[in-house]
Amino acid sequence: MTRIALLDYGMGNLHSAAKALEYVGAKVDVTNDPKLIAQADKIVFPGVGAMRDCIQGMQEAGIDDVIRQAAFNKPVLAICVGMQALLERSEENGGSDALGIFKGLVKRFPDIEGLKVPHMGWNQVHQQDPSHPMWKDIPQEARFYFVHSFYVEPQDQSIVAATCNYGLEFCTAIHKDNLFATQFHPEKSHTAGLQLLKNFVEWDI
């Protein structure tokens, strides 16, 4: 059974993510223990709330360096603010540094008439490479659940795994080697979300 470390640094919907991962066949350790994280087969890096608080929570838990080291050493799935934290900097709170694993910025949605911020609810996700193992058995225009006011703008467009439209076309998933990240919440996205989590559990890199 695949053993997954679900990172607990005080910023994430851990209960629903843990239950969803267990449902699709994983053994889940909700932890901030670097030893348990190192022993896990795979890592899920969730996040909700403000970037500054997330980074502070990681630093206080002592897992920011663990994430940087694991990012390309074992399969990692980052979710929502967890995905945003992979970039260099966010516009949130007047500007907040992130982990800097990928070059690029996290930007706030612009004011567009008729569109509410945060972007909340179901939206279609447009896969850039449907052959990627993480998209297995997921329809190319499947809908996923979003709750966010900021979106990522990676410098390297080759890492964009999917886009979504909400007043503008924005990156909603990124991939690089053994790392995959989503702006949407797969644990809240019913059938398509559970399939994506199942794909992560079964992802053989």
The full set of domains in the chain, from first to last, is: 3-202 (3.40.50.880)
Query: Above 70 in pLDDT, residue 12?
Result: no
Least confident of 14-18, 23-27, 61-65, 142-146: 61-65
* pLDDT per position as a tens digit, 28-87: 999 988 888 889 999 999 988 788 888 888 888 888 888 888 877 899 999 999 999 999
For range 171-176, the mean pLDDT: 97
pLDDT at 21 over 70: yes
Which is it for the CA torsion 38, 176, 147, 16, positive or negative? negative
- Active site residues per annotation: 80, 185, 187
Instruction: Identify whether the C-beta of residue 148 lies closer than 8 Å to the C-beta of residue 164.
Output: no
pLDDT of 49 reads: 79
Instruction: Determine the pLDDT at residue 55.
Output: 86
More confident residue, 111 or 169: 169
Query: Stretch 118-142: mean pLDDT, rounded?
Result: 97
Quote the CA–CA distance of 81 and 85 in Å, as a whole number: 6
pLDDT over 80 (residue 163): yes
Report the alpha-carbon distance of residue 182 to residue 76 in Å, rounded.
Answer: 11
Question: Does residue 180 carry a pLDDT above 70?
Answer: yes
Round to whole Å and give the CA distance between 203 and 68: 20
Which pLDDT score is estimated for 59?
85
β-bridge partners, 40: none
Which residue has better confidence, 194 or 64?
194
- Over residues 10-37, the mean pLDDT reads 90
Query: For residue 46, which of 58, 56, 59 has the smallest C-alpha distance?
Result: 58
Per-residue pLDDT band at 184 (split at 50, 70, 90): very high
Residue type, 85: A
Question: In this model, does residue 13 exceed pLDDT 90?
Answer: no
Average pLDDT of the chain is: 93
**What's the pLDDT at 98?**
92
Q: Which two tokens stand for residue 157?
A: 């467009």
Angstrom distance (rounded) from CA 4 to CA 83: 17
- Return the minimum-mean-pLDDT range out of 1-10, 118-127, 141-150: 1-10
Confidence at residue 43, expressed as pLDDT on a 0 to 100 scale: 95
